[in-house]
């Protein structure tokens, strides 16, 4: 049977464990990047939603400003 | 609510459905790190050197648990495929996909660490007439075809059904293959467990078990993390559809990777 020298054996063992640790680290960083992308997309959706909600508010506020000074009833935002 | 930079826990309102931490994931991650550190400490600081192989035998505590966990993961993928066919619940298909995905990744580590151990022990990176090595390679390559198989099918329902059939068939092949290899005459690959010589000494068995639990916990942690990602990406797709009302699901999660859709 082939037998590696003791110093070779140490190199082989550490390279096996190092490969495993590096693989786990690479996998975790890929997962982290994926979560960041999901988080970014979620943020974009929230911003879109906020923009959609802000538009009707702006219209309502403009309407209230025009009506102020008159006896017209105040418009209430339905949003 | 202003959108801040990346955080693992993202609150989006009542119910906090976008929780990227996952239930118990933090505890699981800590347990995984502790078990792996304890296992590797036992390997390098405590367990006695093998009389036959010397220092290079320490690869055993990494290589064998990885192989067992990968093979069990393939079988679990088959079980989830069966549950998907039985119930039609897409979550089981997503589970099956993630189980196989993580097990294939572990399979790469098994092949690389095995090759390094083979080179140290036998002087060759690979031995083609050794049934244990070749049979694991066959199982690994079989599961590598899972991805192009999924890619090839456009319709998501058919894709999930066919992938489940694949997972069941291949999952059933794993224990059959294992038994066939155990019955075959081994050329040089060692048989350690349940041998007539009595198997491992207690200290080696304990070290092996700690490493096995650590690697098993790592597999579960990675599976849970992937599932949290799939769930959140499914919910983001659902939100996008609701917001745009255009039927497009968004890009998160990819085309082949099944996501767990929000109801």
Residue A43 lies in a domain: yes
Cβ neighbours of residue B214 closer than 8 Å, sequence gap 6 or more: B32, B35, B36, B38, B39, B65
Whether B257 contacts B98, CB under 8 Å: no
- Phi and psi, residue B19, nearest 5°: -95, 105
Do residues B77 and B105 touch, judged by C-beta distance below 8 A?
no
Question: Is there a domain that residue A31 lies in?
Answer: yes
Question: pLDDT (tens digit, 9 = 90+) per residue, B168-185?
Answer: 999 998 888 788 777 776
| B84 assigned to some structural domain | yes
- Give the per-residue pLDDT at B2: 38
B62 occurs within a structural domain = yes
Where is pLDDT greater, at B252 or B148?
Answer: B148
What residues of chain A lie within 8 A of the CB of B122, using their CB? 1-2
Angstrom CA distances, A19 to B54, B88, B105, stand at 21, 39, 12
Q: Is A45's CB within 8 Å of B236's CB?
A: yes
SS3 percent helix, strand, coil of chain A, rounded to 5, is 80, 0, 20
Q: What are the chain A neighbours of B58 within 8 Å (beta carbons)? A: 13
Residues of A in contact with B59 (CB under 8 A): 12-13, 16-17
Range of the domain at A41: 25-56
3-state secondary structure of B128: coil
Partner-chain contact B54 A9, CB within 8 Å: yes
Q: For chain B, what is the mean pLDDT?
A: 82
Highest mean pLDDT among B56-60, B174-178, B194-198, B253-257: B56-60
Give the pLDDT of residue B232. 86
Selected residues 179-238 of chain B with any CB under 8 Å from a CB in chain A: 188, 218, 222, 225-226, 229, 232-233, 236
Is residue B158 in a domain?
A: yes
Whole-angstrom distance, CA of residue B240 vs CA of residue A45? 7
d(CA B96, CA B81): 6
- By Cβ distance, the residue of A1, A48, A52 closest to B122 is A1
Asked, for residue A38, whether it belongs to a domain, the answer is: yes
The backbone torsions φ and ψ at residue B54, rounded to the nearest 5 degrees and listed phi first, read: 75, -145
Contact B55 A47 (CB under 8 A): no
In a domain, A14, yes or no: no
Residue A52: inside a domain: yes
In a domain, B41, yes or no: yes
Range scoring the smallest mean pLDDT among A60-64, B86-90, B143-147: A60-64
Q: Is residue A15 part of a domain?
A: no
Domain extent, residue B225, equals 25-193+200-229
**What domain count does chain B have?**
1
Q: Give domain status of residue B40, yes or no.
A: yes
ipTM: 0.80
Count the domains in chain A: 1
Q: Which residue of B has its CA nearest to A18?
A: B113
Asked, for residue B3, whether it belongs to a domain, the answer is: no
In a domain, B30, yes or no: yes
**Is the per-residue pLDDT at B27 higher than 70?**
yes
The answer to whether B33 faces chain A, any CB pair under 8 Å, is no
B3 near A CB under 8 A: yes
What are the φ/ψ torsions at residue B50 (nearest 5 degrees)? -65, 130
B217-262 pLDDT, tens digit per residue, is: 999 999 999 998 888 888 888 888 887 775 554 444 445 567 665 5
pLDDT score for B77: 94
């Amino acid at each position: 049977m082939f037998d590696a020298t003791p110093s070779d054996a140490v190199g082989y063992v550490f390279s096996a464990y190092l490969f495993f640790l590096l693989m786990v680290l690479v996998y975790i960083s890929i997962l982290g990047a994926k979560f960041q992308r999901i988080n970014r997309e979620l943020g974009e959706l929230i911003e879109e939603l906020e923009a959609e909600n802000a538009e009707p508010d702006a219209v309502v506020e403009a309407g209230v400003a025009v009506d102020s000074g008159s006896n017209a009833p105040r418009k209430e935002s339905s949003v | 609510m202003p959108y801040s930079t990346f955080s693992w826990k993202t609150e989006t309102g009542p119910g906090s459905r976008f929780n990227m931490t996952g239930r118990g994931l933090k505890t699981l991650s800590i347990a995984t790190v502790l078990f792996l550190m304890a296992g590797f400490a036992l390997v390098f600081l405590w367990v006695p050197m093998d009389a036959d192989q010397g220092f290079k035998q320490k690869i055993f505590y990494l290589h064998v648990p990885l192989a067992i966990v990968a093979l069990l993961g393939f079988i679990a993928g088959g079980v989830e495929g069966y549950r998907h066919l039985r119930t039609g619940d897409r979550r089981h298909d997503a589970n099956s996909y993630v189980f196989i995905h993580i097990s294939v990744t572990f399979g790469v580590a098994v092949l690389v660490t095995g090759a390094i151990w083979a080179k140290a022990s036998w002087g060759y990176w690979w031995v083609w007439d050794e049934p244990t090595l070749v049979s694991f390679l066959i199982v690994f390559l079989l599961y590598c075809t899972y991805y192009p198989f999924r890619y090839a099918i456009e319709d998501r329902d058919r894709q999930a059904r066919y992938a489940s059939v694949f997972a069941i068939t291949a999952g059933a092949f794993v224990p059959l293959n294992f038994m066939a290899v155990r019955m075959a005459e081994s050329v040089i690959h060692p048989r350690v467990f349940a041998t007539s010589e009595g198997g491992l000494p207690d200290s080696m068995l304990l070290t092996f078990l700690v490493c096995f639990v650590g690697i098993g916990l790592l597999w579960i942690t990675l599976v849970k993390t992937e599932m949290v990602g799939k769930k959140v990406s499914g919910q983001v797709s659902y939100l996008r559809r609701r917001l745009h009302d255009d039927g497009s699901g968004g890009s998160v999660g990819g085309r082949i990777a099944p996501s767990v859709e929000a109801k």
